[in-house]
Amino acid sequence: MRKVVGAMVLVSGLLLASGCTTATPNVAFIVGGEAVSNSEVEDLVVACAQAFKQEPREVSSQVLSFVLEGRIAAHILTDKGIKYSNAEREEFLRQSTLGNTLLRNPTCQQVGYGVADYALLIDQLSMEDFIAAQQQVEVVLNPRYGYWDPTAATVIGNGSLSETANGS
């Protein structure tokens, strides 16, 4: 499994450094040393699929990307001592159809809050500070999902929530 350490770079195209690490097949990803289980991701995908009125397979990669963004943002917020209220998050999310959809389901709302945190951080910090902060957050994605591309802030690949890392 590849370990990705790096920064989301919207403008500069900065690439990540990588190395080796281990994770169990039941772990979807690890962000900053905190593991998120496959079952937690699957529950979030189902909740958000209901909010989007789509099948889980149609939204799984996007929801996984959103969850990763939120977890990355949580680490940066903690490190920087920044806090956003739920009201601030909801105000941000209500500015778009996507955000309003994320607010429809209480479980998916938590995913939305992470998306808001990520976007609000980008707005609050200079790009240079955001990149530097994100470089400090270690991201390890289970290869069954593909890989995390911080330059696009998305999961790349055709990974599946319905198959295990070893293909069974």
The pLDDT tens digits for 27-86 are: 999 999 999 999 999 999 999 999 999 999 999 989 999 999 999 999 999 999 999 999
Average pLDDT over residues 156-164: 58
Q: What pLDDT, on the 0 to 100 scale, is given for residue 74?
A: 97
- The mean pLDDT value of the chain amounts to 80
Cα 135 to the center of its chain, rounded Å: 15
Q: What number of helices (H) and strands (E) belong to the chain?
A: 6, 7
In a domain, 107, yes or no: yes
Res. 5 pLDDT band, cuts 50 70 90: very low
Assigned token pair, 1: 């499994």
Q: What pLDDT, on the 0 to 100 scale, is given for residue 83?
A: 96
In a domain, 94, yes or no: yes
Structural domain count of the chain: 1
In a domain, 16, yes or no: no
CB 10 within 8 Å of CB 130: no
Question: How far apart are alpha carbons 139 and 137 in whole angstroms?
Answer: 6
pTM here? 0.78
In a domain, 166, yes or no: no
What CA–CA distances, in Å, run from 157 to 17, 45, 66, 142, 143?
A: 19, 17, 15, 12, 9
In a domain, 108, yes or no: yes
Q: What percent of the chain has pLDDT over 90?
A: 60
Domain of 33? 2-9+27-156
Res. 25 pLDDT band, cuts 50 70 90: confident
Res. 160 pLDDT band, cuts 50 70 90: low
Return all residues near 163 (Cβ < 8 A) that are at least 6 apart.
Answer: 144
Q: Choose between 65 and 10: higher pLDDT.
A: 65
In a domain, 168, yes or no: no
- CA dihedral sign of residues 53, 59, 63, 66: negative
